Chain A
Amino acid sequence: MNQTTNAPLPDDEARRLQVLIDLDLLDSPPDERFDRITRLAARLFDVPTALVSLLDAERQWFKSRVGMPLSETPRTASFCAHAILQDEVMVVVDACQDPRFANSPMVKGEHAVRFYAGSPIEVGDGVRIGTLCIVDRVPREFGHEERTLLRDLAGIVANEVAALELKAMAERERRSASAVQALLEHLPDGVLLFDGGGNIVSCNPAAERMFGAPCQALAGLPGATLIGMQPAVVARHEGAGRRLDGGAFAAEVSIAAMTLEGEQHLVATVRDIAWHRAEQERVRAANLRRHDFFRTASHELRTPMASILGFSELLLKREFDAATGRELIDIIHRQATRLVGLVNQMLDLARIDAGGSAQMHPVPLDLADVVARVGAAIEDAAEAGRIVVQAAPGLAPVVADPLRVQQALANVVANALAYSAPGSKVEIGIAAEARNGRAGVAVTVADRGVGMTPDQQRQVYDAFWRAGALPDVPGNGLGMTIVREVVAVHCGLVEIVSNPGDGTRVTLWLPLESRLADAEAAR
């Protein structure tokens, strides 16, 4: 027989390997705790070699070694692989006489093992991770007392392993506790701990900020004082949080039951949802506004359509004299033109509303140029002649979308012309002006017309609202709505100064440094 008999694997091999890996001992640096035991064993038994051998899947690795130049050897030729299979100390008096080892390279090779005695190192639930073993180059007898001594030494090795494991576990717990502590300290939600009676035991820094008092001041207070409800298990309860200084805030409270050192407790997370509430309200208002807009828009579109459809049907089905027929066609044409204008303006508004700043193409813009283009675009020369422009010299450019700003100014100028007497002047002033500490340029359009009541000035931005004073003025009630949207997107301002019968001054102010805003957010 030219072959070593390999040791069978222990029944719990998989678990054994897992325990060994979890101990984190394999390939660790030398440790005096174990080295002193191997030194002691070598001296006590008067052998050249003593080892703490750990049995890994494919090797035995020596955690401590005396008289052994190698740090590991293959598991196949290992004596220890046999030793961990039995409860007692395994003794090989003469390896040459033992069929399991007679042909082992360990026995035949340069290391020439003849004598072996190994005691399993047992940790935890009887898992044998390796052995404390002694080796000699000559055969030896190993009596009962010596076996007991070796087993005791192996027990000390096992104790050292257990002590290391305990220390590692304590360290892990300390780290995990400090991680939980850090988590609580940095959690943006307030955390309150209540005792079984609902009184505050402790809290985290977010709760201290939220309720405006240090933990010591909050401790002992009834929970209801802070969260407006007797603490009880609840999920996402929306209520009011009360600060110690009397202030209140909208709070979302969740409470869970927990047991701490055998005592019933409650733990609450408190979230300040004032912002969330405001956001909900804003969305609700925006939806309502949109709904109203579409309702009104559909009404406004149907009205000219009623004329177009109705008169064309009459013309098709009935006979009219030439003059009446022409009058009806004229109405159809006028209403169709009105319809197109309405659709175009609604599209403009929708584009600004939906796209916000993304739909804008801002460039440095000289507002005096824009005002000149607005005047030039007025077809009726008599109307255009009513405009008087006074631009301050050396105006800085604003950063804005040229087409949108022109459209907004054109709407303001059209209103000024329409709601004032024919032939009266409309004065446009352009000047550098600051608002809220920001530099900008103001364009003021002043007419000497009918003016507006405070109520009318408020309503003027509502879509499809039209000043009732002059029903014969053409328009669709979207002009000032578009002005407001365009200005809002540019982070600018619209100001109206007016009194009934005393003319109207509308000022469009745009900042020099434009941060284009979302139209929705800017409102």
Chain B
Amino acid sequence: MTRRILVVDDQPDLRLLIRLSLRALGEVAQAASADAALAQLAVSKPDLLVLDIWLGEGVSGLQLCRKLKDDPAMAGMKIMLLSACGQQSDVAAGLAAGADHYMVKPFSPEALLEAAVGLLNG
């Protein structure tokens, strides 16, 4: 069964890095902003959302994560938060927003893949 993953990051280089890292797991789509992500989510719900916290101006990844976790239509979708902020309080805020996993940048593509596999099989 093909897994569907949506990557949300405002940096094109990082979207490419994540897509390359996770493409073995299935179909990897991408969005550059929270709005673009919501538009895609409205069409179809992926198995895993890889979501950067810092999305430039507008809705942050943290806000989007909370919103999606509160949305019954999105039930069952795993969310992995990505952030360059790695302090304990940042991780706690991410988990409090409902994230299933919190990944700190920079990260190893192997570790990202491993965490994604864990979430998809969990």
Contact = CB atoms under 8 A, between A and B. Distances in A.
Contacts of B14: 303, 306-307, 310
Interface stretch (B39-47, B62-70, B107-115): B107-115
Interface string B85-121: 1100000000000000000111111100000000000
A307 B54 contact: no
A303 B21 contact: no
Contacts of A314: 17, 20-21, 109
A300 B106 CA distance: 11
- The interface residues of chain A, by DSSP majority, are classed as helix
Contacts of A331: 13, 16
Nearest to B87: A295
A306 B110 contact: no
Nearest to A302: B84
B84 A306 contact: yes
B106 A310 contact: yes
Nearest to A300: B84
Contacts of A308: 106
B92 to A, nearest CB: 15
B105 A305 contact: yes
Contact of A307 (B13, B85, B108): B13
Contacts of B16: 331
A309 B13 contact: no
B109 A305 contact: no
Contact of B17 (A295, A298, A306, A471): A306
A335 interface: yes
A313 B84 contact: no
- Chain B CB within 10 A, most for which of A302, A306, A334, A468: A306
Nearest to B18: A310
B84 A310 contact: no
B109 A298 contact: no
B57 interface: yes
A189 to B, nearest CB: 43
Interface residues of A, number: 22
- The interface residues of chain B, by DSSP majority, are classed as loop
A331 B12 CA distance: 10
B96 to A, nearest CB: 18
B76 interface: no
Contacts of B54: 299
Given A310-B17, A313-B110, A314-B20, A302 B56 contact: no
A334 B110 CA distance: 23
B84 A299 contact: yes
Given A299-B85, A306-B14, A313 B108 contact: yes
Contact of A306 (B20, B57, B105): B105
B108 A310 contact: yes
Contacts of A303: 11, 14, 84, 105
B85 A298 contact: yes
A298 B87 CA distance: 11
A311 interface: yes
A232 B43 CA distance: 72
A305 B13 CA distance: 11
A305 B85 CA distance: 13
A438 interface: no
B84 A307 contact: no
Interface string B2-31: 000000001101101100110000000000
A322 B20 CA distance: 15
Contacts of B86: 302
Nearest to A301: B84
A295 B89 CA distance: 12
B106 A468 contact: no
Contacts of A313: 108-110
A510 to B, nearest CB: 33
Interface in A289-327: 295, 298-300, 302-303, 305-311, 313-314, 317-318
A308 B110 CA distance: 15
Interface string A191-217: 000000000000000000000000000
Contacts of A299: 54, 84-85
Given A302-B106, A303-B11, A317-B110, A311 B17 contact: yes
B21 to A, nearest CB: 7
Contact of A295 (B11, B56, B57, B85): B85
Contacts of A305: 105-106
B103 to A, nearest CB: 10
Interface string A327-350: 000010011000000000000000
The 6 closest A-B pairs by CB, nearest first: A302-B84, A306-B106, A306-B105, A309-B106, A299-B84, A310-B17
22 contacts: A295-B85, A298-B84, A298-B85, A300-B84, A302-B86, A302-B104, A303-B84, A305-B105, A306-B17, A306-B105, A307-B106, A308-B106, A309-B107, A309-B108, A310-B17, A310-B109, A313-B108, A314-B20, A314-B21, A318-B20, A334-B13, A468-B57
Given A308-B106, A309-B107, 12 more contacts: A299-B85, A303-B84, A303-B105, A306-B14, A306-B84, A306-B105, A306-B107, A313-B108, A313-B110, A314-B21, A334-B13, A471-B56
